[in-house]
Structure 1
Amino acid sequence: MQRGGLQTERDGTVLRLSLSGAWTLPSMADLAMQVTAVQAAGLRRAVIDTSRLDRLDTAGAVLLHRLWRRLSEQGAAVDWPQTPERYRRLLDYVAPCEALAPQPRPGSGLIGLIVYFGWLMEFFLREARRFVAFIGRVAESAVRTVVQLKHLRLTSMVYHMEETGLRAIPIVGLLSFLIGMVMAYQGASQLQRFGAEIFVVDLIGISVLRELGVLLTAILIAGRSGSAFTAQIGTMKVNEEIAAMRTLGLDPVIVLVLPRMFALIITLPLLTFFADIMGLLGGALMAWNSLHIDPFLFFQRLHDVITLRTFVVGMIKAPVFAALIALVGCYEGLRVKGDAASVGRLTTRSVVQSIFLVILFDALFSIMFNILNI
């Protein structure tokens, strides 16, 4: 049987599309390229000729429906003259299955820009509503698990504590140490101009303990562990393991989400504490090397100017950031569809969303602490 093909002929604002051969799954790669190459700008009418179409399966119908929708959204009236009834029934069948609406392309001028931002706002609100609903479901399951500890999967939680905490110590410690050195070096080069080298201790202590320690650790864990959560759960979704769990009467939130979230809530504060120590050590080493500030003097000054409140302010953020990273990672993993491309796409999205929420909540914490004069 002849492989599927698509021939186009344009006459002014009218486009004629002739379908030929078999529009079936084996021909999808070539047909998708031909459909993508169709120029729809400036069309008023499109005629789709199916008289030479030999065969149409579900994959071909989905692609054809996407072509029809693309032409319609560009303002062209689409005609299907003499299309067999069996093809029309198949096209009607796949129409509701095309749930993923394409991102609208901004038109020219101010109106197109307004339409585009309107679509972005609608998308954001829809995703926010779904995520908040997921948070409510997880919170309900967490309360039920805490009340009835028999539902707590301790072995899984300890395993994830090792993966997200113990194995992350080297990279967190190294980067925190280097960030402390950079802060000391940059601060020293500026403070030396005013003869205020000793204040580099204040700079390092406040910035590391209050902001950089927890923020850097959370961003590292978002890229390392949050992405792993999405990939692991997404792969299970592709392999239909989660469907099997539901068949056995197991709640994926209790089995998969809660152990990861509890593990991260425990380990991220510990990693933050370790990052604070390494950042201060890096700063002390660079201050000793660049400004000849003795380590004993460095830590004595640190003890005099840094209060316990500065340390607590940074540590309070850690459990909140941990919950956000775990929730986003697991949420995107549970949204994976039945292909590997979906796993990669949502893994990338989970990292971006986690880092965005971490920085957003860090800004909210800063505003709140400023209002409370903390």
Structure 2
Amino acid sequence: ERQGSVEGLAYGAIENSLYWTCNNIATIFKMSLSVNSSTPETVLKLAPLDKPRGIAVDVCDSRLYWTNWNNQHPSIQRSFTNGRLMESIITTDIRMPNAIALDDLTQKLFWADARLDKIERCELDGSDRVILTDAVPQHPFAMAVYGEYIYWTDWVVHSVVRANKFTGADVVHLRRDVGRPMGISAIYNSSFNCFNNPCRVLNGGCSQICKLDPAGSVKCSCNVGMVLDGDGKWCRTAQNDTKTCNDEEFGCESGGCIPYHLTCDGVFHCVDKSDEFADYCATRSCREGFFTCANGRCIHKNKTCDSVNSCGDYSDETECPCDEQNNFKCKSGPCIQSWLRCDNDPDCPDASDEMDCPQRDCKRELMSLMPEINKG
């Protein structure tokens, strides 16, 4: 079946399907490779003046991204793989978008403009745009991303070019004197799994918005009207008096501050109970200057190895040297004050402070108490 001018091609690995753009009929097609007699399906019929070119697939979110060099309204657009919920995510500072590529590892979109001679990186919703290079590209046509590099074909310099995907530097012309280089693909063995994206596991520990930085690490942010707390993960209501909680405090989502060591201790201290939210307590890491207890609580480091069970599970007293003159070391590790040994009240988590104690002469102890009893 004739498809017209096919200008962009992408492969969806999970569903084993090909997607492509047809420029002259402004259509995006799909064909399954799992069925021998498969025929092309129309995913999306665009407006008559639209000019779809490059295309990329996000297999984890089942989305398509493509460039549209419509002379009047050029844009970067996206939709779900069934064609629903189409939207334009970039419409400004754009003239003739050609190449587009999606980096699965960092969840970033890369695209090139053949009229403005630049390559940009942005979030998958089109936000946080960064120009990687506007000096090297002359007429970029197609693009691929692999490892630490982006690769593209260029019609003016007749080359296949490579640059660092973080900085746009380290430019290398891998192949020169190519008449009119068109598409380019990076082929490699991959163990990529959608859940390798840390934002897909408990939202990366973020209370609201989880994104990845250019290196693929979690970067939390907040919805409008909220501000990021000192831990870099939790969002709370912005206060009218611009008061912010310090590093020793936790900002309740409803506003106000509580001591940080009181979070995730099983007791609600915030009015809205946000200090005990399960998703926060399950994913947080204790701040600098705090010790992480085995039960997940955070206490000041100066509260460790002081013979006081500050964690509640003795984990703050387990790996501590004991002063044998004044302390007793439990078999399970913690130190307790020596006067607590053999007092018929277990203080060690394993009750070892009440083991191997000398046999008590209860009759003598009782007789010694008789004068006091008689006085009463």
TM-score normalised by L of structure 1: 0.23
- Which structure's residues are more often strand, by fraction? 2
TM-score normalised by L of structure 2: 0.23
Which structure has more relative contact order (CA 8 Å, sep 6+)? It is 1
Which protein has the larger Cα radius of gyration, Structure 1 or Structure 2? 2
